[in-house]
Amino acid sequence: MAKPPAKSESGIRTQRDSWSALRRFTSARIGLGRAGGSIPTRELLDFQLAHARARDAVKHAFDIPAFGEELRLRQIDSLALGSAAGDRHTFIQRPDLGRILDEESKSLLQSRASNQAWDIVFVVADGLSALAVERHALPVIEMTRVHLLREGWRIAPYCLVSQGRVAIGDEIGAMLAAQLSVVLIGERPGLSSPDSLGAYLTFDPLPGRSNAERNCVSNVRPEGLNYAAAAFKLLHLMRQAHARQLSGIALKEDAPLPAPAELQKLFPER
């Protein structure tokens, strides 16, 4: 005999959705059911909570001093920079200003510029979710850095940027004369992922590069693409970009992902 619909606290019977069994495979909002002409109260409250978390992620300030200290403890040199946006309100309203450095940051980079050529510069920017950067960027940095150093890559000081967007890596890379730039940045929060990290790779970074000239590894977080898998994909793209002297639509991320046990050996968590 079929199980009768459950009653909500208001007395309205909650009608189950035929897709509800599929919810164990995804965090997407499917199979929510209904109560009368609306969704159940529990699902409505869950949606409102997710929306609030996404809004909080956008507003959250990137704690650059704390992140820089974490790098210093690992003997990694870093520079604290800022975009021309200046504050969060301007950053949201003026995306163009988030793509360029402020004058103080330009002066700092010019003072650090030298005749030394760098193979790669990593830029860590808050983007639309500083939570993503604070939670997930450091493991990706550690896992990729150990392999790059072993292979003899010349890594520029890590650049930590407040109010930054992806394209700010072009200006930074050009000023430091880096062959490649990798921007680790907080992606636009979703209603199931307020802390998703993206990694954008550009060969020969210069102001004016288009997104078609970049490669992206996205949804980096334990519930999405885990750190080891992200590091593997990113390293493959770096090596291919370095060898072929290009990035973007001409460069495909086609390396088969190793089994989880093999990934763990390649990228052990510290």
Asked if residue 49 belongs to a domain, the reply is no
Find out whether 186 and 196 touch, Cβ atoms under 8 Å.
yes
Express each pLDDT in 137-161 by its tens digit. Answer: 999 999 999 999 999 999 999 999 9
* CA 211/CA 213 separation, integer angstroms: 5
Q: Indicate if the pLDDT at residue 36 is higher than 80.
A: no
pLDDT bracket for residue 30 (50, 70, 90)? confident
Of residues 260 and 182, more confidence is placed in 182
Q: Residues 179-229: pLDDT tens digits?
A: 999 999 999 988 778 899 999 999 999 999 999 999 999 999 998 999 999
- Give the chain's domain count: 1
Q: What is the DSSP string of the chain?
A: -PPPPEE-TTSPEEEPPTTGGGGGG-SS-----EETTB--HHHHHHHHHHHHHHHHHHHPPP-HHHHHHHHHHTT--EEEEEBTT-SHHHHHH-TTGGGSB-HHHHHHHHHH--SPPEEEEEEEE-TT-HHHHHHHHHHHHHHHHHHHHHTT--BPPEEEEET--TTHHHHHHHHTTEEEEEEEEEPPP-SS-TT-EEEEEEES--TT--GGGEEEEEEESTTSB-HHHHHHHHHHHHHHHHHHT--STTS---PPPPPHHHHHHHS---
Q: Is residue 45 part of a domain?
A: no
pLDDT of 124 over the 60 cut? yes
Lowest-confidence pick of 27-41, 57-71, 93-107, 178-192: 27-41
**Residue 9 within a domain:** no
| Phi, psi angles (nearest 5°) of residue 183 | -100, 115
In a domain, 36, yes or no: no
Given a contact cutoff of 8 angstroms between Cβ atoms, the answer to whether 182 and 201 are in contact is yes
Residue 43 resides in a domain: no
Give me the domain span that covers residue 198: 63-266
Question: What is the b/e burial string over 83-97, where b = at least 16 CB atoms within 10 angstroms of the residue's CB?
Answer: bbbeebeebeeeeeb
- What is the pLDDT, as a whole number, of residue 1? 44
Domain assignment present for 46: no
**CATH code of the domain containing 235:** 3.40.50.11240
Q: Kindly state whether residue 218 falls inside one of the protein's structural domains.
A: yes
Residue with the larger pLDDT of the pair 126 and 256: 126
In a domain, 148, yes or no: yes
CB 165 within 8 A of CB 99: yes
Mean pLDDT across the chain: 89
CA distance 197 to 217: 9
pLDDT of residue 2: 46
Q: Give yes or no for a contact between 57 and 186, defined as CB atoms under 8 angstroms apart.
A: yes
To 10 degrees, the CA torsion angle through 210, 189, 229, 246? 0
